[in-house]
């Protein structure tokens, strides 16, 4: 439904948002939320939290949901993008490497991973789209770094850990199928 030329998800989201904005007469101040399909175990509260953070925080131009990392395996997994943020929760950098550096991983450190829910003010999504991909974005293969490299404005919406897994590999899919059978929300909506 969108162009095949896109290499990053948020560029694709801008195209879809632009089409919907005309149809629904959305303003530049309205909010677009991107929910990535590789997170089938998301909780609807995550969407609400992302929206409310952006709606109530006048400084934030966009958000990314950051789920707490609880295991050493997740911390060192290159498929899991880690988030470095400052004390105001503004995203400074995202990486496939284990960040922040720590000699020994501990559940006590506030390490978060990108959980594929992004919320954007429409004017900022447009600005993002028309900004050239940045060096960090290209080296890490993560579009959030385009925002970090060009003045910021993205904030992490913190979410506690629960058994929820991204689907990046066939083994991930097997794990998700197993866990979804026990998931209360999945049982509620299962067809």
Q: Is 117 helix (H, G, I), strand (E, B) or coil?
A: strand
Dump pLDDT digits (tens) for 125-159.
Answer: 999 999 999 999 999 999 899 999 999 999 999 99
Higher pLDDT, 137 or 182: 137
Residue 188 above 80 pLDDT?
Answer: no
Look up the domain containing 28 and give its range: 9-166
Q: What is the total count of domains within the chain?
A: 1
Is the confidence at residue 37, as pLDDT, over 70?
yes
Query: Does some domain include residue 190?
Result: no
pLDDT above 80: residue 1: no
Confidence of residue 190 (pLDDT cuts 50, 70, 90): low
User: The whole model's pTM is what?
Assistant: 0.87
Cα 142 to Cα 58: distance, rounded to the nearest angstrom: 25
**Residue 184 forms part of a structural domain:** no
In a domain, 48, yes or no: yes
How far, in Å, CA of 52 to CA of 159, rounded? 13
How many alpha carbons fall within 13 Å on the CB side of residue 93?
11
Q: Which of 22-26, 45-49, 121-125, 144-148 has the lowest mean pLDDT?
A: 22-26
| Within a domain: 32 | yes
Whether 181 is covered by a domain: the verdict is no
Residue 145 forms part of a structural domain: yes
Query: What's 102's domain CATH number?
Result: 3.90.550.10
Mapping DSSP to helix (H, G, I), strand (E, B) and coil, where does residue 160 land? Answer: coil
Taking residue 175's Cβ as centre, other Cβ atoms within 10 Å add up to 15
Report if residue 188 sits inside a domain. no
């Amino acid at each position: 439904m969108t162009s095949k030329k896109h290499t990053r998800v948020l560029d694709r989201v801008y195209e879809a948002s632009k089409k919907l904005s005309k149809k629904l007469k959305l303003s530049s101040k309205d909010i677009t939320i991107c929910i990535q399909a590789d997170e089938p175990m998301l909780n609807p509260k995550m969407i609400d939290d992302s929206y409310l953070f952006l709606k109530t925080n006048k400084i934030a131009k966009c958000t990314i949901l950051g789920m707490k990392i609880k295991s050493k395996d997740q911390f060192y997994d290159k498929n899991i993008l880690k988030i470095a943020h400052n004390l105001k929760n503004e995203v400074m950098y995202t990486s496939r490497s284990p960040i922040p550096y720590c000699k020994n991983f501990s559940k006590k450190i506030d390490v978060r991973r990108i959980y594929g829910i992004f919320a954007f003010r429409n004017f900022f999504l447009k600005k993002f789209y028309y900004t050239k991909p940045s060096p960090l974005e290209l080296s890490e293969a993560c579009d959030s770094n385009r925002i970090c490299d060009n003045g910021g404005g993205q904030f992490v919406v913190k979410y506690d850990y629960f058994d929820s897994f991204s689907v990046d590999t066939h083994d991930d899919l097997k794990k998700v199928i197993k866990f979804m059978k026990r998931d209360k929300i999945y049982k509620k909506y299962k067809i």
